[in-house]
Amino acid sequence: MIESLKITLLLGFLTGILVVFGGIIGSIFKFGILGAFIGLIISIIMNFISYFYSDKLALRANHAQIVTEDEAPRLHRIVGELAQNAGIKKPRVAIVHTNDPNAFATGRNQDNAVVAATTGIMQTLDDRELRGVLAHELGHIKNHDILIGSIAATMAGIITMVANIGYYAIFFSDDDGIGELVASILLIIFAPIAAAIIRMAISRSCEFKADRSGAEISHDPLALASALEKIERGVEEHPIEDVNPSNAHLYIINPFGSTAQRLSELFSTHPNTNERIKRLIKMSEDGNY
């Protein structure tokens, strides 16, 4: 119920943004209410795409390629073992060719889920640590986080696009259209903030929950703790360069590094890594896994 409510609110929020934006554009270009109607039609199409094709969009946006067992035997072996531990269907496996050590999961449900790992993470982590990371990603799948995360990534990208269009639309407005001009400026300012809030609200609690689920699946919370420490150092050395920031929350650790988080902790897409490690260590000490 909670998950369905979150999805409904996210899609409703996207609808509202596009309808309001359509109304503003309609006022600027003298379309009247037709602009809002066009925004509604576009929002229906975008909602459909966000729900049914968000996984494909996420893979494409992050340059992830589906690989076979022959192409990535190590990944397939570990994912297969962990999926059996988790009691879920083995997801497809993808690779992202980048030095950034990271991983993410996407998909609408367990039947079309994908776990993606970067070439950087496979070079950085040993098998035990990689098991911890992939178990975390399977935790997202088991907890049904992946649809919400994928939809949020699609939404954030759309909202950012809307803000960019609004920026250029201002220059075509009439001199006396002060109201529409102000509305456009507000949209440009607040739309990216809204996208950041969406990512923040979804990701922080989900990451803690996936850490716990991953530790339970791998039966080794210290492996994930060690992996998180290595990944954070690796991301600082090799931050990702060609991925849209709207997809940052999909990754196990912010792919742009902690510097970006320190600039605006309010909009951080991930919880503090040290706090995550502390929780995993305590989980190991308590034997609660």
CB within 8 A of 171, min separation 6: which ones? none
Distance CA 228, CA 238 (A): 15
Distance CA 70, CA 61 (A): 25
Name the token pair of 46: 């975008």
Distance CA 56, CA 213 (A): 25
Q: Which residues are catalytic?
A: 137
Beta strand pairing status for 92-96 and 103-106? unpaired
Angle in degrees, 0-180, between the axes of helices 178-218 and 273-286, rounded to the nearest 10: 30
Quick one: how far is CA 13 from the chain centroid?
17
152 burial level (CB within 10 Å; 0-12, 13-18, 19+): buried
DSSP assignment of 45-60 equals HHHHHHHHHHHHHHHH
**Residue 1 DSSP SS3:** coil
Do 69 and 92 form a contact (C-beta atoms < 8 A)?
A: no
φ/ψ of 161, rounded to 5, equals -65, -40
Name the token pair of 70: 């022959």
Do 148 and 171 form a contact (C-beta atoms < 8 A)?
A: no
